[in-house]
């Protein structure tokens, strides 16, 4: 048994479970502007909820930076750092800020605790006392949206109000307890409409499908050439050649395509209910195993061109059976690479290792799993299309939140999210974060694109006359539209397959119908080939006619 076959099942298992769970394009830095229809606006209480940077200065020296959220009421926050004034802060006395403070304020920012009265009451009291802004410290580590009560009328508030998490308030209190002069800057920088990271991520996704398609088509063509040679050498014995095919390739059918989505939905619910730090660690281990196997497969396939003798020399290894010397040489590096990434996955540079392992895993899966015809591809992508829409948008009606976005961001575990995605740090975003794309948004359309190139090569079609070029254009354009929609929605998570599937699948179906190949694409998935090595014997009836 080859080492690659041993890990093949593990690789497919990990991807089947996890590939759908990050099926979205999104940004992990958090939404800068949050529109909440559940808290309706009214005069004096109509601000959008925006994230606010609170930069602290202790005795004139720059110190910690905290992130808060602006209130529905009060004045808007300055967007440019250079225009934001450094203003001293003071602790309110009493701390809840519900009654006029005992200290005199002359334009300082007052820090109050949450509780005992309405948010608007705290803001009105601070404004009447002469404060220039009010920082409300939450009694939890999370942020809370400060809204107005339906019956409130005293909303003539002309100072900004910002809520900070509990740990930020504790840090500020320690600074003030040292009798230091503490000042802050309040500003909410705007996120750029387009970040260069999204362009690189687009190129990464397109290039991954491009490489995987050519690798898959090349493997099928090599198998076809080998089959023709065997048929030529054994044309008299069909029984010895009828089982020839591409080894190690799994052709999925319509039933497995539907079950794929059903099983993924079940596991998505399980992860949603059991999401915790230990469960995320388990998923990290699965990803590391699949990524190490994928990296090994890719390196062996690449290096075997130069080290052919090493790749064709085998040694028996307990449990694994016959393993090539090249595989034995590459495996330790791949395992070490995956282990190092898993250990340091929270480091700033860990995204590089995650992308390397992720791309290798996608390339490997696209060699193992194949769509045999357009019918199976249509069923698979259509089910994935409905799956994406339901778990991103419609699941809110059942679970009161988007299950897909919660799982993809690991919001319940406090972790950075499960690693089944490619990500690149946003380069010009003052809020930082990552632009990400789920594996499913590359892998599932990639199955159809790879099928198109295999068909073109078997049918001896040119690039322009075939289907692959147009399928690649359709995928790239669909992914581009996804990023446009993402930016128009202010960074809210978008199901990428909502845009990719109609473009990719629609283009394939329309082009096949126009060219008259739709029946063959839908049923056989490959053109009929005339075997020149088999000479058919004339029948008795044809001899009598002569």
Q: State the Cα torsion 431-440-396-198 to the nearest 10°.
A: 20
- CB of 89 closer than 8 Å to CB of 111: yes
* DSSP secondary structure letters along 273-299: HH-SHHHHHHHHHHHHHHHHHHHHHHH
Where does residue 518 rank: exposed (0-12), middle (13-18), buried (19+ CB within 10 A)? middle
Using CA of residue 444, residue 445, residue 446, residue 452, what is the dihedral sign? positive
Task: Respond yes or no: is residue 96 known to be catalytic.
Answer: no
What does the DSSP 8-state code read for residue 32? S
Catalytic residue of the set 441, 456, 490, 517 = 441
Sequence-distant (6+) residues with CB within 8 A of 302 are: none
- Token pair listed for 365: 């899966």
Catalytic residue of the set 31, 195, 388, 456 = 388
CA distance 137 to 158: 20
Using CA of residue 139, residue 141, residue 147, residue 150, what is the dihedral sign? negative
Sequence-distant (6+) residues with CB within 8 A of 240 are: 230, 234
Beta bridge partner(s), residue 33: 50
* DSSP secondary structure letters along 78-100: PS-GGGPPPEEEEE-SSTT-SS-
**Residue whose entry in the numeric block shows the structure tokens 């109509």:** 46
- Token pair listed for 441: 């948004």
Task: Respond yes or no: is residue 228 known to be catalytic.
Answer: no
* Beta pairing, strands 109-113 & 250-251: unpaired
Instruction: List C-alpha distances in Å: 126 to 76, 100, 165, 260.
Output: 17, 7, 19, 58
* Beta pairing, strands 421-425 & 434-438: antiparallel
- Token pair listed for 180: 């230091």
* Beta pairing, strands 25-27 & 421-425: unpaired
Of the candidates 67, 86, 61, 92, the residue with the CA atom closest to the CA atom of residue 180: 61
What does the DSSP 8-state code read for residue 63? E
Q: State the Cα torsion 338-341-343-345 to the nearest 10°.
A: -140
* DSSP secondary structure letters along 389-445: HIIIIITHHHHSS-HHHHHHHTTTTTSS--S-EEEEE-SS-TT--EEEEETHHHHHH
CA distance 93 to 110: 10
Q: Catalytic positions, please?
A: 388, 441
């Amino acid at each position: 048994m080859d080492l690659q076959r041993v890990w093949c099942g593990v690789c497919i298992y990990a991807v089947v479970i996890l590939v759908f769970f990050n099926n979205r394009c999104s940004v992990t830095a958090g939404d800068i502007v949050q529109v909440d229809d559940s808290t309706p606006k009214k005069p004096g209480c109509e601000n959008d909820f925006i994230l606010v940077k609170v930069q602290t200065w202790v005795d004139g020296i720059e110190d910690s930076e905290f992130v808060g959220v602006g209130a529905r009421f009060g004045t808007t926050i300055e967007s440019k750092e250079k225009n934001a004034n450094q203003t001293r802060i003071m602790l309110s006395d009493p701390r809840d800020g519900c009654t006029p403070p005992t200290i005199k304020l002359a334009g300082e920012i007052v820090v109050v605790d949450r509780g005992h009265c309405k948010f608007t009451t705290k803001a009105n009291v601070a404004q009447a006392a002469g404060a220039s802004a009010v920082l409300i410290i939450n009694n939890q580590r999370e942020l809370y949206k400060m809204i107005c009560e339906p019956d409130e009328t005293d909303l003539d508030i002309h100072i900004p109000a910002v809520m900070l998490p509990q740990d930020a308030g504790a840090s500020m209190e320690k600074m003030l307890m040292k009798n230091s002069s503490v000042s802050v800057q309040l500003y909410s920088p705007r996120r750029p409409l387009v970040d260069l990271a999204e362009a690189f991520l687009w190129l990464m996704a397109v290039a991954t499908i491009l490489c995987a398609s050519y690798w898959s088509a090349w493997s099928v063509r090599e198998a076809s050439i080998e089959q023709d040679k065997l048929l030529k050498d054994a044309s008299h014995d069909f029984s010895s050649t009828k089982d020839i095919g591409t080894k190690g390739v799994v052709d999925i059918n319509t039933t497995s395509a539907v079950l794929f989505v059903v099983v993924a939905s079940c596991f998505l619910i399980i992860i949603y209910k059991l999401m915790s730090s230990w469960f995320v660690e388990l998923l990290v281990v699965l990803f590391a195993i699949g990524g190490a196997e994928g990296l090994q497969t890719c390196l062996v396939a690449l290096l075997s061109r130069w080290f052919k003798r090493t790749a064709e020399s085998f040694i028996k290894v307990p449990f694994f059976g016959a393993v090539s010397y090249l595989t034995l040489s590459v495996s330790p590096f791949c395992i070490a690479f995956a282990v190092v990434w898993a250990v340091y996955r929270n480091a700033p540079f860990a995204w590089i290792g995650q992308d390397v392992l992720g791309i290798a895993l996608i390339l490997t899966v696209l060699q193992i799993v194949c769509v045999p015809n357009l019918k199976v591809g249509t069923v698979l992508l259509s089910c994935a299309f409905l799956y994406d829409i339901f778990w991103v948008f419609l699941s809110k009606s059942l679970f009161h939140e988007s299950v897909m976005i919660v799982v993809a961001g690991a919001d319940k575990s406090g972790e950075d999210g499960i690693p089944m995605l490619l990500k690149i740090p946003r380069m010009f975003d003052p809020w930082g974060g990552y632009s990400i794309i789920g594996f499913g948004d590359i892998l599932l359309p990639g199955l159809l694109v790879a099928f198109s190139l295999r068909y073109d090569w078997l049918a001896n079609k040119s690039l322009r006359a075939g289907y692959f070029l147009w399928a690649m254009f359709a995928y790239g354009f669909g992914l581009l539209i996804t990023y446009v929609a993402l930016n128009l929605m202010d960074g809210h998570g978008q199901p990428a397959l909502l845009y990719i599937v109609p473009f990719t699948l629609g283009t394939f179906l329309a082009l096949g119908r126009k060219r008259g190949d739709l029946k063959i694409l839908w049923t056989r998935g490959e053109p009929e080939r005339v075997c020149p090595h088999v000479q058919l014997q004339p029948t008795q009836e044809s001899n009598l006619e002569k």
